[in-house]
Amino acid sequence: MKNLSCADLLRSPTCAGVYSIEKGEAERAFRAATTAGLNTWQIDISPARDATSLLKLLGQALHFPDWYGQNWDALADCLSDLSWCEADGHVLLLHGSETIRGNDPQAFETLIDILRDVSAIWREGGVAFWALVDIRLDDVPPLSVPA
């Protein structure tokens, strides 16, 4: 990943996945993704206190279709589809992760697992799907964004 520009990195399905990211780097990645023409979402998930409120918040923020059932399977289905907002790649930046992780750690772990699975599905199709979370986690590598 060293010799890639930020935009090139974010367009790369082979590099895409779930990463933790520092605030300054998150802002730089978000700008680069937007400039590169990728779908970008910055979502403050701090209001979510449990799985139910997290699933509702994500559905609203991502403008999921009416058939979204506000459950984990529906979240995975919608994130794996995104046909209502087609692009060459997708970057999801989640802020305020500490709240849900502290109040409902199982829901947060499930979210991370789904984001990993979704990224792998997109990767198989040759499309980058990035999920960037604003919290350091033992099992989520940090992303260093090229300048």
What CATH number is given to the structural domain containing 107?
A: 3.30.370.10
Mean pLDDT on 42-52: 97
Is 1 within the bounds of a domain?
no
Residue 1: predicted pLDDT: 47
- Residue 2: is its pLDDT beyond 80? no
- Whether 39 is covered by a domain: the verdict is yes
Phi (first) and psi of residue 84, to 5 degrees: -80, -5
**Residue 20, strand partner residues:** 133, 142
Three-state SS at 57: helix
Task: Report helix angle 72-81 to 51-61, nearest 10.
Answer: 20
Using the predicted structure, report yes or no on whether residue 126 has a pLDDT greater than 60.
Answer: yes
Q: Is residue 23 very low, low, confident or very high in pLDDT (cuts 50, 70, 90)?
A: confident
Instruction: Report the distance separating Cα 30 and Cα 7, nearest Å.
Output: 10
Q: Is residue 112 part of a domain?
A: yes
Mean pLDDT of 112-120: 98
Q: Give a yes or no: residue 110 inside a domain.
A: yes
Could you tell me the two tokens for 90? 């997708």
Q: Answer whether residue 128 shows pLDDT above 70.
A: yes
Answer whether residue 121 is part of any domain: yes
- Inter-residue contact 53 to 47 (CB < 8 Å): yes
Question: Quick one: pLDDT band at residue 144, thresholds 50, 70, 90?
Answer: confident
Residue 73 has pLDDT above 80, yes or no: yes
Confidence of residue 5 (pLDDT cuts 50, 70, 90): confident
- Domain residues for the domain of 81 are 6-133
Question: With pLDDT > 70 as the criterion, what percentage of the chain qualifies?
Answer: 97
Residue 98 in domain? yes
Q: Is residue 114 part of a domain?
A: yes
Query: Into how many domains does the chain fold?
Result: 1
Domain assignment of residue 120, yes or no? yes
Q: What is the pTM of this model?
A: 0.93
